[in-house]
Amino acid sequence: MKADLAGDLRRRARTAWFPLTFVALFAWLDWVLHRNPLFILLVGGAVVVAILYRAEIAQRTGFAEFMRRLSPVNQALMRAAPALLYFLLRGRGTAGGGAILVVLVALGVVIGMAKYGEQIDQRLSSFYRVRDRVLSVRVRTIIAVIFPVVVGFGIIHGSLADLPALFGASTSSPQAPMGREAQYFLGAALCAGVTILLLRKRTPR
């Protein structure tokens, strides 16, 4: 029985490795910002269970049918809502209007891709073929995780001097992101664009 359960969990984890990668990223960032292991265990554990058993949960709660009734734009917003809500509630360190600005940029990208994703995919079809041939999904996922961190420090903070703080080290020249709305917009837009180019799947015809 235990062996069957362990095998089932491994199979589900292999299938859901992509969202689980981002859960691990959020858990790491939350630890850096808040140092709250209880929150990570409770909330992170609930999210992991929801990802691993998403099909069963969606069917039993009626969520799958609810999503099918929504328009493509609203479906995209529902999928993006958990990450955006987390960023607003737990994104300490994003001072001033930066958090709101990042969320607005993300919402714009989500709505735009939901409405015009098929047209964009048609124009980028050659790029997608080259991208998929040169870079595997796992490599692209790693780049998509690392790139926003580096860009966030380089553009929003104006320096990479704070980067060691993400790994528990001290920095001799901290750069506060206060009052840098233009940098927030540029950084968020650049990260969103690169993430789409790396991870977007072609719209099936």
Percent of residues, the chain, with pLDDT higher than 70:
80
79 or 97, which is more confident?
Answer: 79
The confidence score (pLDDT) of residue 175 equals: 53
Place of tokens 């089932």: 8
The confidence score (pLDDT) of residue 189 equals: 87
Place of tokens 């048609």: 122
Q: What is the pTM of this model?
A: 0.69
Closest listed residue to residue 50, CA positions, set 86, 89, 91, 82 = 82
The confidence score (pLDDT) of residue 130 equals: 94
Residue spans of the domains in the chain: they are 1-69, 71-205
Average pLDDT, the chain: 81
How many C-beta atoms surround the C-beta of residue 52 within 10 A? 19
The confidence score (pLDDT) of residue 142 equals: 86
The confidence score (pLDDT) of residue 91 equals: 62
87 or 23, which is more confident?
Answer: 23
Closest listed residue to residue 173, CA positions, set 162, 158, 163, 164 = 162
26-35, 75-84, 173-182, 196-205: least confident range = 173-182
Inform me whether the pLDDT recorded for 170 exceeds 70.
no
Give per-residue pLDDT as tens, 92-130: 554 556 667 777 788 888 889 888 998 999 999 999 999
Burial 161-184 (b: 16+ CB within 10 A, else e): ebbeeeeeeeeeeeeebeebeebb
The confidence score (pLDDT) of residue 168 equals: 56
How far apart, in whole angstroms, are the C-alpha atoms of residue 112 and residue 155?
A: 24
